[in-house]
């Protein structure tokens, strides 16, 4: 006699543009996927598992997880985790002043997504320049990228964020050139231009939750959570 099929509820997650996508909750198989990733010493495995969980649980047809901006993927995973397991998570942090460990409860419903107002169009000359985009979720689980040295990883990240290069009325799309060509192009930018690119990269959208407490020395302390790792969602 076949076992009964269990129906699951459907809920929606709204992205930063107001678009809503339908999801089912995480199931045991997704939890196993995360637990297996946790056991790996490779951070790329954990990130790939996060992306796979979101992709597994989305219901909408035509959804392409790798095309999501990275912060939208993190937002979706956090909301998915809240709906599936509970919207309260416990986190512990060691205060670097009094060296005591403090425990906190984070309400996932109160986690914000902050999107700084920063110019994506970076002029190089009066008629030429580049247009940037936010890093995509394709970076999650990219084993080669995760093993790069810090500086090399940063320049590869910058290259991945170049959406268009324009010169007068001519516009070159990302698919029109190789990564090597793009990295060489970036190397040839004037420092003043690259400083504007770095400003964009340092002000990317992120999750945000603030914890305020008073430590054993009587001093007011603040902890700001801005990445999935900060929320310990895989614990």
pLDDT at 34: 86
Secondary structure (DSSP) of the chain: -PPPPPP---EEEE-TTS-EEEEPPP-HHHHHHHHHHHHSS-HHHHHHHHHHHHHHHB-STT--GGGSBHHHHHHHHHHHHHHHH-SEEEEEEE-TTT--EEEEEEEGGG-EEE------EEESSSSEEEEE-PPBGGGTT-HHHHTS-HHHHHHHHHHHTEEEEEETTEEEEGGGS-HHHHHHHHHTS-HHHHHHHHHHHTT--EEEEEEEEE-TTS-EEEEEE-SHHHHTTT-
**pTM recorded for the entire structure:** 0.85
Residues of the chain with pLDDT under 50: 233-235
pLDDT at 41: 66
pLDDT tens across 166-196, in order? 999 999 998 888 989 999 999 999 999 999 9
């Amino acid at each position: 006699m076949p076992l009964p099929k269990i129906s699951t509820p459907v809920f929606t997650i709204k992205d930063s543009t107001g678009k809503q996508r339908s999801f089912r909750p995480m199931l045991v198989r997704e939890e196993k996927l995360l637990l297996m990733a946790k056991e790996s010493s490779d951070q790329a495995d954990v990130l790939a598992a996060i992306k796979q969980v979101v992709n597994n649980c989305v219901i909408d047809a035509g959804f392409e997880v790798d095309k999501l901006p990275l912060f939208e993927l993190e937002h979706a995973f956090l909301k998915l985790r809240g709906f599936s397991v509970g919207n309260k998570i416990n986190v512990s942090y060691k205060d670097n002043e009094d060296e005591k460990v403090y425990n906190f409860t984070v309400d996932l419903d109160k986690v914000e997504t902050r999107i700084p107002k920063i110019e994506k169009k970076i002029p190089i000359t009066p008629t030429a320049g580049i247009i940037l985009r936010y890093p995509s979720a394709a970076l999650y689980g990219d084993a080669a990228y995760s093993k790069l040295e810090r500086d090399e990883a940063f320049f590869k990240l910058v290259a991945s964020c170049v959406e268009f290069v324009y010169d007068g009325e001519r516009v070159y799309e990302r698919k029109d050139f190789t990564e090597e060509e793009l990295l060489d192009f970036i190397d040839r930018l004037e420092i003043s231009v690259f400083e504007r690119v770095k400003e964009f990269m340092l002000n990317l959208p992120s999750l945000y939750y603030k914890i305020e407490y008073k430590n054993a020395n009587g001093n007011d302390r603040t902890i700001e959570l801005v990445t999935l790792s900060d929320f310990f969602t895989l614990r």
